[in-house]
């Protein structure tokens, strides 16, 4: 069954991606670089408090709770934020390391929760089947739950530009493959030199972080959006 280990064992403890990145420090007017350590684990191993810390209480992430892809437009307009947060906790099975399913990954910087990435079979995302970007000029079965999708990245306020999304993108590969995926895809924005994106645009990730994780471009449905994919 897609979304579970072939052995039937709990999914906890599988993903352990460590990535050292250099962080610029300008104390005293001098640029210094220090090593920081990022780790990633399945969201069911995270606590509810960890998720709340990453999503925060203001802004796009806080009001979405990674539910936009999960529900219809009419429901999106009517469901309160508290209920969206409750659904996220239920989908992730946070606080339950023995859970057999979860809906994403959580990144930690020296033990502090700093990032989130949604990755599941693409059939878990109601809106994805209705969007143009994943399907235009492609012969893909929308009901194939062997193809997984990376739909959302969140980096906690105060921890951006430290490689959080890049590390999470790398972790999606083993996470999906080890849970029976036949392929995993993302639908990121194309990086444009000198162009700044808001989180409201960049939550899907940038092309460069997927390429760095080994994804290959398989389609360019619009000038600013691409489909990136790994087949296992």
**Sequence ranges of the domains in the chain:** 19-231
CATH superfamily of 19-231: Gcn5-related N-acetyltransferase (GNAT) (3.40.630.30)
58: Cα within 13 Å, side-chain hemisphere: 1
Among 221, 192, 223, which Cα is nearest to 206's?
192
Distance in angstroms (rounded) separating the CA atoms of residues 150 and 105 = 10
* Model pLDDT for residues 10-23, shown as the tens digit of each residue: 444 545 554 545 55
Q: Are strands 147-155 and 183-186 parallel, antiparallel or unpaired?
A: parallel
Distance in angstroms (rounded) separating the CA atoms of residues 9 and 16 = 17
Distance in angstroms (rounded) separating the CA atoms of residues 81 and 95 = 21
- The CA-based diameter of the chain, rounded to the nearest angstrom, is 57
Q: How many helices (H) and strands (E) does the chain have?
A: 7, 8
Distance in angstroms (rounded) separating the CA atoms of residues 35 and 48 = 28
Among 118, 115, 188, which Cα is nearest to 154's?
115
- Provide the whole-model pTM: 0.85
Spatial CB neighbours of 108, under 8 Å, sequence gap ≥ 6: 38, 39, 40, 41, 114
Distance in angstroms (rounded) separating the CA atoms of residues 112 and 23 = 16
> Tokens 């492609």 sit at which residue?
138
Q: What is the pLDDT along the chain (232 residues), one digit of tens a residue?
A: 233 333 334 444 545 554 545 554 544 555 555 556 899 999 999 999 999 999 999 999 999 999 999 999 999 989 999 999 999 999 999 999 999 999 999 999 999 999 999 999 999 999 999 999 999 999 999 999 999 999 999 999 989 889 999 999 999 999 999 999 999 999 999 987 766 665 567 899 999 999 999 999 999 999 999 999 999 9
The SS3 call for residue 40 is strand
Task: Read off the tokens for 96.
Answer: 């339950």
In this prediction, residue 29 carries a pLDDT of 55
């Amino acid at each position: 069954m897609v979304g579970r280990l072939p052995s039937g064992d709990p999914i906890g403890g599988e993903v352990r991606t460590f990535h050292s990145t250099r962080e610029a420090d300008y104390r005293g007017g001098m640029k210094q670089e220090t090593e920081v350590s990022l780790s990633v684990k399945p969201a069911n191993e995270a606590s509810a408090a960890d998720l709340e810390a990453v999503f925060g209480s203001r802004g796009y992430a806080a009001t979405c709770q990674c539910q936009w892809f999960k529900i219809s437009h009419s429901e999106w307009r009517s469901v309160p934020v508290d209920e969206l947060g409750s659904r996220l906790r239920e989908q992730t099975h946070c606080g339950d390391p023995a859970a057999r399913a979860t809906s994403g990954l959580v990144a930690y910087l020296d033990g502090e929760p700093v990032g989130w990435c949604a990755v599941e079979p693409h059939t878990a995302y109601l809106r994805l089947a209705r969007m143009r970007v994943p399907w235009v000029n492609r012969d893909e079965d929308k009901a194939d739950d062997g193809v997984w999708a990376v739909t959302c990245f969140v980096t906690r306020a105060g921890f951006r530009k430290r490689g959080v999304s890049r590390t999470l993108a790398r972790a999606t590969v083993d996470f999906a493959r080890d849970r029976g995926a036949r392929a995993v895809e993302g639908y990121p924005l194309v990086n444009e030199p000198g162009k700044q994106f808001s989180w409201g645009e960049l939550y899907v990730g940038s092309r460069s972080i997927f390429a760095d994780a080994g994804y290959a471009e398989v389609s360019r449905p619009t000038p600013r959006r691409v489909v990136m994919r790994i087949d296992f």
